[in-house]
Amino acid sequence: MREKKEKKIVFIDMDGVLVDFKGQMELFYTRDPSLKNGYPDKPDEIPDIFKDPQPVEGAVEAVKKLHRSENFELFIATTTPWDNPDASSHKRLWIETHFGDLFRKKMFITHRKDLLRGDYLIDDRLANGASEFKGELLSFGWAYEKGEKGEWNQYRTWDDILKKLLPGMTL
């Protein structure tokens, strides 16, 4: 009898990792420039900002590839602003639109990612407990937290993530 291989647990953040939140902000500011003044430090509190943003380039395909590999148990780990309660339902609907049932009942909305137990967390920020995650943090995309200039995190693209998690596989 063949031994069943234990799958690695991967948590995936949404904003800046799956979702192009920066692009969505720019779209909202272009449509209504007054939003820059109304929400200068908290664009995530703009009503409906999480309703239908575009995915990060390559994100949807890469996550589906991770799923098809059967090496991982995949979960969403996202934070929503306390003062924008619609964000939670908009994010869940976004996941369903782009992934169907792949993440059905596999979504954590938390401000404490350090309490999650798993092997990997793919996140673009260190906030909300990501920096204290007990597994391996795969820092993704643009590190805008590092000030106006920012810098790239270790894993710039989803291809970089796939190379890490699926070494030797054809991308």
**Is 119 tagged catalytic?**
no
User: What is the value of pTM for the model shown?
Assistant: 0.93
- 24 SS3 class: helix
Rounded CA-CA distance 42/20 in Å is 16
| For residue 147, pLDDT beyond 70 | no
Q: What is the pLDDT of residue 144?
A: 72
Which one, of 79, 167, 165, lies nearest residue 123 by Cα? 79
Nearby residues of 111 by Cβ (< 8 Å), 6 or more positions away: 79, 128, 129
Q: What is the pLDDT of residue 148?
A: 64
- 116-133 pLDDT per residue, tens: 999 999 999 999 999 999
**Is 15 tagged catalytic?**
yes
Q: What is the pLDDT of residue 3?
A: 63
Nearby residues of 127 by Cβ (< 8 Å), 6 or more positions away: 79, 145
